[in-house]
Amino acid sequence: MMKRPPQKTPGRKMSKGEFESLAHFRYQLRRFLRFSEEVTREHGVTSLQYLLMLQIKGFPGREWATVGELAERLQAQHHGVVSLISRCEAAGLVKRQVSRSDKRRVEIKLTRKGNECLEKLARLHRGELASLQGEFVVPDLTAPGSP
């Protein structure tokens, strides 16, 4: 997991409107995450299992990812991702496969069951995001008077 350098904060105090904007953004983000937690549970997977499958399927340029790449994309520790992959593998959602081009590399791929599960869940998530359009607004942090 990459560590970010500390962000510099300007010396002036934030305005009430800036706090309201940030609070509204966090509220909308939390509503979406809560939706995700509930809908994944209803489909028999955890939200982390869904995120793992999404990152595998959505990995740029290929249909697999390594443990290290998934750890970065999930912003999680390597050993935690290994455990998550093991749980997904036991559930029949993913499989590990030694790379044909580099025998030292293990590729994590979705199974047919994983692809089907992900397709259902991704459609539900996309629908929820569409319903939030106009509500899910990222605060403009570059405008004059922004934090």
115-125 residue pLDDT tens: 999 999 999 99
pLDDT above 70 for 79 = yes
CATH number 1.10.260.40 is the correct assignment for the domain at 18-131 = no
Domain range summary for the chain, segments of one domain joined by +: 18-131
Predicted pLDDT at 13: 86
Token output for 24? 């509204």
Flag whether the pTM goes above 0.95: no
